[in-house]
Chains A and B, each alone.
Chain A
Amino acid sequence: MQKIIVCLKRVVDYNVRIRVKADGSGVVTDGLKMSINPFDEIALEEALRIREKGQAQEVLVVSIGPEDAQQQLRTGLAMGADRAILVQTSAELEPLAAARILQQIVNREQPDLVLLGKQAIDDDCNQTGQMLAAMWNRPQATFASKLDLNGTVATVTREVDAGLEVIEVDLPAVVTTDLRLNEPRYVKLPDIMKAKKKTIEIVPIESLGVDITPVLRVTQYDTPPPRSKGGMVKSVDELVSALRDRGLLA
């Protein structure tokens, strides 16, 4: 296999608690720690392992976002990606628009495999991979917890509600990653230094000729009602009888 594309989304770090703006117009993200979407990081790790096994020649990381998304691409390069593309935009994109953009990149780069997270932990949409696969008219294997490549076929174990489903897809294909697929590597300092020398290709979003106008209207952001504040119990007896009262324990 020649080339793997990995999509990296810049998101608020999973350890940061976000806040809804007082006027309900959005979520406060200014000044928060930003990271690679954790599921995308798993996707990149998988691509690197495939290349390290000699099953792929090149790993290309692609992000769509503001200039600052270069930081996440830089981390991707430090992890071991060969090349990076930033489709630069300050617009908020719906997954449909993101998939259209990725399809343009796919058309240009002709990868054998596109790997990305099953969802981003900001909008939690879980759509982009499937939409890209539909537009590209290629297979999708979502929620992957195991990926085996054999020539032009990938065998993918998927984490579905009923258990583990195994499917076979012809390449090229889109695979979206679940948590169990792997544990991403830590980036070492020398790799960070080396990654600084690699160039990131900036593609202005306008140059792709894709309609990215949002279709859905987001009218309001709210903070979910807080859980009613519970309390402490003093003993196991008190706990067990409270749970019995609620019909939760026999």
Chain B
Amino acid sequence: MSRTLIIGEHDGQHLNQSTARCVACAIAIDSSGVDVVILGSDPSAVAGEAATLNGVAGVLTVMNPANGPVLAAILAPQIAVLASAYDYVLAPSTTFGKDLLPRVAALLGVPQLSDVMSVLGPRTFRRPIYAGNALVTIEVPAGIKVVATVRGASFKPVGGGNAAPVRPVEVSATLPTHTRFVELRSGKTDRPDLQTARLVVSGGRGVGSAENFALLYQFAGRIGAAVGASRAAVDAGFVPNDMQVGQTGKIIAPELYMAFGISGAIQHLTGIKDAGTIVAVNKDGEAPIFEIADFGLVGDLFQIIPEIEKRLR
């Protein structure tokens, strides 16, 4: 039997769904001995949520006022201490896990695997490189602790109904004071977050101007979608950088991606290839985006978007 420690992600109130996805990955490795640790200033409520996840053997809580804000420099030394009792240490491949886990791995003196997308054996994993344009199979030699982030889109969250025991633990680690939390400004719009949205509406150079993007915002609002853009639209100054979808922007996997006026440069396509369904609307029937679109429609986006809206219930 091997033992797995999952670092629970939460906002102080609720457990992030990414944790349930990590549990699914942990079960695929070895269903016995999967623990979740919740570090926080008052972790009990979040720990209660983690205890309901099917497949979790136990939940550890590390209560410390310093664990209130989520800071890798503070959390990592504590996790490194806890990790000594485990063969596997997993965290979600979210900004939380990506920030934290390499620091943990370095403290443990072991390499880290990023973005595990499938478990091929107890010590054999597959992960994407080159923005998913190639997949590598990686073996972790026996005797080396497996420290890995788990790609959420690849694992279905486990269900609830469990009642795993919750156990507070004390961790003795020296915590630095060189890193201080100031504030969190949550997403300024009421639109869904581009990275996690189920539906994404995206515009490219064909949208023509910053003003014209209003049409996409309006349509996205109607269907509850996030709004993205191609690098060409960002470079043309139509929209800010943070909306860029692609290899050097955000790599996303929504259930539906609707590309309007996007020709489909390689670096854009690599950012959307894991989307469930891709719709492309472009005036140019030869645009490369049509090669990967599930539903391509040749035409003028300024006519087609209002036409789609008219048909919405």
Contact = CB atoms under 8 A, between A and B. Distances in A.
Interface residues of A, number: 84
Given A142-B99, A230-B295, A162 B277 contact: no
Contact of B196 (A132, A161, A233): A161
B233 to A, nearest CB: 14
Contact of B134 (A125, A159, A223, A248): A223
Interface string B71-105: 11100100000000000000000111011111111
A27 B106 contact: no
B135 A224 contact: yes
Contacts of B304: 236
Interface residues of B, number: 91
Interface stretch (A53-61, A70-78, A94-102, A108-116): A94-102
B292 A142 contact: no
A223 B133 CA distance: 7
Contact of A215 (B144, B199, B273): B144
Interface string A228-241: 11111111110110
A197 interface: no
B190 interface: no
A75 B282 CA distance: 37
Q: Which 10 A-B pairs have the closest CB atoms?
A: A230-B294, A134-B106, A130-B102, A163-B186, A127-B102, A131-B106, A220-B137, A166-B182, A170-B178, A160-B95
30 contacts: A14-B247, A27-B129, A122-B130, A127-B114, A130-B99, A131-B102, A134-B76, A134-B106, A139-B176, A140-B73, A145-B242, A160-B99, A161-B193, A165-B183, A170-B179, A179-B241, A179-B242, A180-B240, A216-B138, A217-B140, A222-B135, A224-B132, A224-B273, A227-B278, A230-B292, A231-B294, A231-B295, A232-B297, A236-B297, A239-B297
Interface of A: 12, 14-18, 20, 27, 38-39, 94-96, 99, 121-135, 137-143, 145, 155, 158-170, 173, 179-180, 214-224, 227-237, 239-240, 242-243, 246, 248-250
